[in-house]
């Protein structure tokens, strides 16, 4: 097979067409390294891309319409049109029509992933309110993909060059978090975390830090017993198996002292405990990766950013890094498959 035929096919969903998704996608794909390295496939609409191309005045951004499923043009940005209706494009203004369009792109990309027509998928931000419907009754992308690909469990994992933070609970009200921190749930997330660090990031013996649920790790039971009764026994059990698992660490001091730099991964108990330090460190280059799925899905770590949509102000760093992360993980899995065949 030729070198071109061996190139990875990386799908990219357009996200909410009134958000910054189209802008950061266009800006990212202006980077010739990506088009030379892989075959990009955008799921959305050539009309939407044409609108933003003109708005941003980037004549050098070129693309072609994919007429047959899976038949992509080399060294070109390929576009799969996912809807026929003419939808009004109103940058910065949410609409139900835009939410429906985002779902249609997501559905088509998911189907192509299942059929092996693309090798990985990068999802641009959606508006969780406008996309919500009978077809999309999920809290976000992560839950959608877990259901679509039959994953019994998964791990929302935020990654950058210096941090990898996984979440035991994701999009959940804070009042429900403590009840959700069960031995079974923590064990499952830890297992996925350890496996993905080895399989997807090539770390032979990963060092994982576990953050405490309560302030001061419960202060010997004075401000909560979960850290002593749930987290410590699990950590000790994993240590006895030879795994490099440590904690539980109080989150405030853990990051303040730079302790996070000593670990390959950090397991946080809830959304803001992990995402606040992560976005402080890597907001413009951070990536959301759904670990534990049979497919590869990454996304930038920001939302639709309606306030700056259509103003050509969005920073594409996180989207570009999401593309490179998807490529790296796909190559890592491909290498493992090839090594398994040799053995």
CATH number for the region 1-151+293-343 comes to: 3.40.718.10
pTM for the structure as a whole? 0.92
Domain locations in the chain as residue ranges: 1-151+293-343, 155-285
d(CA 215, CA 337): 43
Residues 6+ apart with CB under 8 A from 1: none
Q: What does the block give as tokens for 318?
A: 């996180």
d(CA 136, CA 288): 20
**Summary mean pLDDT of the chain:** 94
**CB crowding 129-157: b at 16 or more within 10 Å, else e:** ebbbeeebebebbbbbbbebbebeebbbb
pLDDT given for residue 3 in this prediction? 42
| Span 165-214, pLDDT tens digits | 999 999 889 999 999 999 999 999 999 999 999 999 999 999 999 999 99
pLDDT given for residue 1 in this prediction? 33
CATH number for the region 155-285 comes to: 3.40.718.10
* Helix (H) / strand (E) containing 144: helix 141-148
Task: Give yes or no on whether 1-151+293-343 and 155-285 have one common fold.
Answer: yes
């Amino acid at each position: 097979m030729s070198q071109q035929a061996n190139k990875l096919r990386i799908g990219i969903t357009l996200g909410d067409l009134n958000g910054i998704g189209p802008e950061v996608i266009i800006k990212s794909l202006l980077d010739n390294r990506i088009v030379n390295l892989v075959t990009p496939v955008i799921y959305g609409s050539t009309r939407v891309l044409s609108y933003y191309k003109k708005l941003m005045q980037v004549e050098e951004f070129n693309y072609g319409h994919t007429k047959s499923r899976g038949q992509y043009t080399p060294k070109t940005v390929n576009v799969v049109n996912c809807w026929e209706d003419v939808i009004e494009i109103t940058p910065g203004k949410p609409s139900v029509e835009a939410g429906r369009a985002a779902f249609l792109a997501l559905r088509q990309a998911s189907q192509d992933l299942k059929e092996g027509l693309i090798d990985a998928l990068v999802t641009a931000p959606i508006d969780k309110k406008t996309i919500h419907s009978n077809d999309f009754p999920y809290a976000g992308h992560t839950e959608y993909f877990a259901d679509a690909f039959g994953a019994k469990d998964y791990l929302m994992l935020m990654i950058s060059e210096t941090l990898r933070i996984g979440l035991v609970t994701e999009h959940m009200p804070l009042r429900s978090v403590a009840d959700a921190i069960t031995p079974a749930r923590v064990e499952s997330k830890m297992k996925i975390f350890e496996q993905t660090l080895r399989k997807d990031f090539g770390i032979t013996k990963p060092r994982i830090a576990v953050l405490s649920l309560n302030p001061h790790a419960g202060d010997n039971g004075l401000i909560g017993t979960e850290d002593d009764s749930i987290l410590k026994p699990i950590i000790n059990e994993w240590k006895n198996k030879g795994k490099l698992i440590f904690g539980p660490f109080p989150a405030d001091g853990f990051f303040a002292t730079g302790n996070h730099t000593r670990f390959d991964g950090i397991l946080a108990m809830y959304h803001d405990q992990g995402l606040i330090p992560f976005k402080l460190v890597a907001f413009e280059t951070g990536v959301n990766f759904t670990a534990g799925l049979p497919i590869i899905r990454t996304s930038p770590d920001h939302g639709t950013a309606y306030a700056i949509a259509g103003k050509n102000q969005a920073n594409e760093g996180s989207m570009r890094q999401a593309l490179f992360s998807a490529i790296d993980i796909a190559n890592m899995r491909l290498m493992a498959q090839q090594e398994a065949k040799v053995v």
